A and B are shown apart, each in its own frame.
Chain A
Amino acid sequence: METEIINKQAHKRTGLIILIILIVAFLIYYSVMSLLSPGRSLERITNEYAIKQDEKTKIDEKVFSDSTYLAKLKEKAFLQSKIALAESDSIYLTINLADSTANLEIYGVVVHSAKIKDLKMSNILKKGNDYVISSFLSSPFTISSSIATIKKDPLMIKMAPKDTSEYKPDIMPDTSITEPVNYRLEMTDGTRIYIYQQENEKSSDRMNLFRFDIRDRLHESWNSLKSVAVFKIPEYHLFIKIRIPRADAKIIYRALPKNGQIGIYR
């Protein structure tokens, strides 16, 4: 009887140890695969946008790390991007990370400007090779999808009355409701721009942001897990996260077309 109990306990212990080993092994495997993904993303960008020199007109490599040259290159890249956007004849967003502004523009005219309060971005964008990143940002980004805590078009359905007896005049809309505004804009190349409302004093605002963030993380991790399960390196998304006033965040989200464009200056 006693030996049976001891055996059972030993089995349990062995099982527990195996489970712990399996969990740790999985977490290590998942971490390693996830750590490889930014590198692959960087490699893709570098291959596409790195300096390609012509043997005949080869320029001294030092030029590409000179501060004046890089500043001019960034300015040119942003202008190129803005012109491409202006010619699209639509509403677009320009994010100037250098002077912390997010501007809504239509055909080259700034129609709305918002001050960026807080900024976070991928280390690749922040610390990556200046020439490569400037070239990468020289073309506008196109939105492919978005997730938001507010509706893009807050449509209300109204059934037409059959006759005058059924007719009810419209009531004054309630404009005092302030819903939390947080959203993610995903670009066609996988880059993600997160726009969060700056106001965070109310617990409902913080809760809304937490729910939005956890949903995004769960979605991202689920995709990574699916890739890792088939021994594939998960996809890494470059990101820019900004905080702006709620009213501005709402205006920008509602104004941008579904497949609108965004220009970024770093």
Chain B
Amino acid sequence: MEDNVLNNGQLSESEKAPDEKQTGKKDDKSQLIDSSLPNLQSKEKLLHILHIILFIFIPVLVVLFMITFVLYFVPVLQEIKSGPKTEISNDPLLKKDAGYNKQIGVLVKDIQRLKRKYNTYSTGLSYIVINTTDNKFFLYKNKKLIREGSCSTGSYKKLLTAEGRSWTFKTPRGKFTIQGKRTNPAWHKPDWAFIEEGVPVPPKDSPLRWEAGVLGDYAMDLGDSYMIHGTIYKRFLGMPVTHGCVRLNDEDLEVVFNTLNIGSKVYIY
């Protein structure tokens, strides 16, 4: 340490008189040590900071490693083992075996029977498919798509009153049938139609409940007051804005009305 300090350009003292050298040597040394102290202290400080950084970073790295190991590495490891794989064969000798042919025969018969049964579900008659997420309809006749276009379905609004009554305006999903067909239908307004506009609700048999011209030229009943009908709000077609019914434009409505019969299936998803 001393040598280092001496080598750091402090040797000019050697030119002093020998007696002076004797007495001044000790002072020089302490002076040199004193002058190098700040240097040492700064190094120590640096080491201390390094220690702190390591003290923080190493546990963080360990924790990160553990998390990565548990979250990503273990699931990969789990997928390595999968159990014995079937050795798929195609032995021509086996195909001549009576037992094998009997098994295949049974399977083929089962498949044919199941296919026949499955085909009975898909109707050859006309039906309509309604997509409530994208507000689109698809009309089929003899299993072929004959028309598609935009429609409007339920708005997903939940109307609440201060008295605690509520209605959710969404189009029901599933399989429905056309239960009735009407031309120039008039709308019998339910309670929510008045409540929604802040208008007093008239009695059930009030003529105020009837409104003509808002459902278009045709309406097809699906049950539970849900209908496929026309609209005067054509700019909303393709959007979820209705109270649960399916709205079509005039041209599409006419084709749908003429294609579907009472009993025709309506698939809503």
Confirm or deny: B131 has a beta carbon within 8 angstroms of a beta carbon on chain A: yes
**In the bound complex, what is the Cα–Cα distance between A103 and B133 (angstroms)?**
16
| A153 and B170 within 8 A (CB) | yes
Q: Which of A72, A75, A158 contacts B159 (CB 8 A)?
A: A158
Q: Does A15 contact B (CB under 8 A)?
A: no
**How close is B23's CB to chain A, nearest CB, in angstroms?**
33
Which residues of the other chain, B, contact A82 by a CB distance below 8 angstroms?
Answer: 118
A265 to chain B, nearest CB (A): 13
**Which of B111, B156, B170, B198 meets A164, CB within 8 Å?**
B198
Please classify the interface of chain B as helix (H, G, I), strand (E, B), loop, or mixed, using the class held by over half of its residues.
mixed
Decide if the interface of chain A is mainly helix, strand, loop or mixed: helix
Contact present for A123 and B79 (CB under 8 Å):
yes
Q: Are A221 and B71 in contact (CB under 8 A)?
A: yes
Q: Mark A45-79, 1 if CB is under 8 A from B, else 0.
A: 01000000000000110111111111011011001
A208 is an interface residue with CB less than 8 A from chain B: no
Question: Which stretch (B97-105, B180-188, B208-216) binds chain A?
Answer: B97-105
Q: Is the C-beta of A146 less than 8 angstroms from some C-beta in chain B?
A: no
A162–B198 CB distance below 8 A: yes
B1 at the interface (CB under 8 A from A): no
Interface residues of A in 116-174 (CB under 8 A from B): 122-124, 126-131, 153-167, 170, 172-173
B160 at the interface (CB under 8 A from A): yes
Return chain B residues, CB-CB under 8 Å to A90.
174
Give the residue of A30, A108, A173 whose beta carbon is less than 8 angstroms from that of B155. A173
Q: How large is the interface on A (under 10, 10 to 19, 20 to 34, 35 or more residues)?
A: 35 or more
B57 at the interface (CB under 8 A from A): no
User: Interface digits, B235-250 against A, CB 8 Å rule (1 contact, 0 not)?
Assistant: 1101111000000000
Is the beta-carbon distance between B161 and A67 smaller than 8 angstroms? no
B117 touches A83 (CB 8 A): yes
Residues of A within 8 A of B95 (CB): 66, 68
A34 and B85 contacting across the interface, CB-CB below 8 Å:
no
| Chain B residue nearest in CB terms to A154 | B156
**Given A60-B99, A161-B197, 9 other A-B contacts at CB below 8 A?**
A27-B69, A31-B77, A68-B104, A70-B86, A91-B269, A112-B131, A130-B86, A160-B160, A162-B198
